[in-house]
Amino acid sequence: MLPLEYPGRWGIAGLLLISTVLVAATLPSIWFLSDYLRIHAWFGLDKWAHALTFAFLAAWFSGQYRRASYWRIAVGLAAFGILIELVQSTITYRSAEWHDVTADVVGIVFGLLIAFAGLGGWSQRFESWLGARTAA
């Protein structure tokens, strides 16, 4: 983990974020999309939602961890994506699709590429900005 002023708070925020994604993945899909908007193409709206969610998660966690740990973020989030599909396979109103895991991995790669391009460590910069604002 990066040397942060509030590592516990970042950890709690990350846990809440992961929990929110897991809960959203187990709710009936009708809560998110009307029948009119439902698209079942392989890389339709659902796949974009998976990719964007996991890109956001990868970017989020890249803010708290060093570049050398990005592979751990990738493995952990891929395992989380698989867990979501396993949980969905046990719920009658949800369906598990391995293409969702593929979209998750695409999102993870995209999020980490953005982190490598300069977004990584964003939480340190945020804490510095916050500290400067508080001091002023």
pTM for the complete prediction? 0.89
- Residue-wise pLDDT tens digits, 13-68: 999 999 999 999 998 866 555 554 554 544 467 889 999 999 999 999 999 999 99
Phi/psi at 44 (nearest 5 deg)?
-80, -160
3-state helix vs strand vs coil in the chain, percent to 5: 75, 0, 25
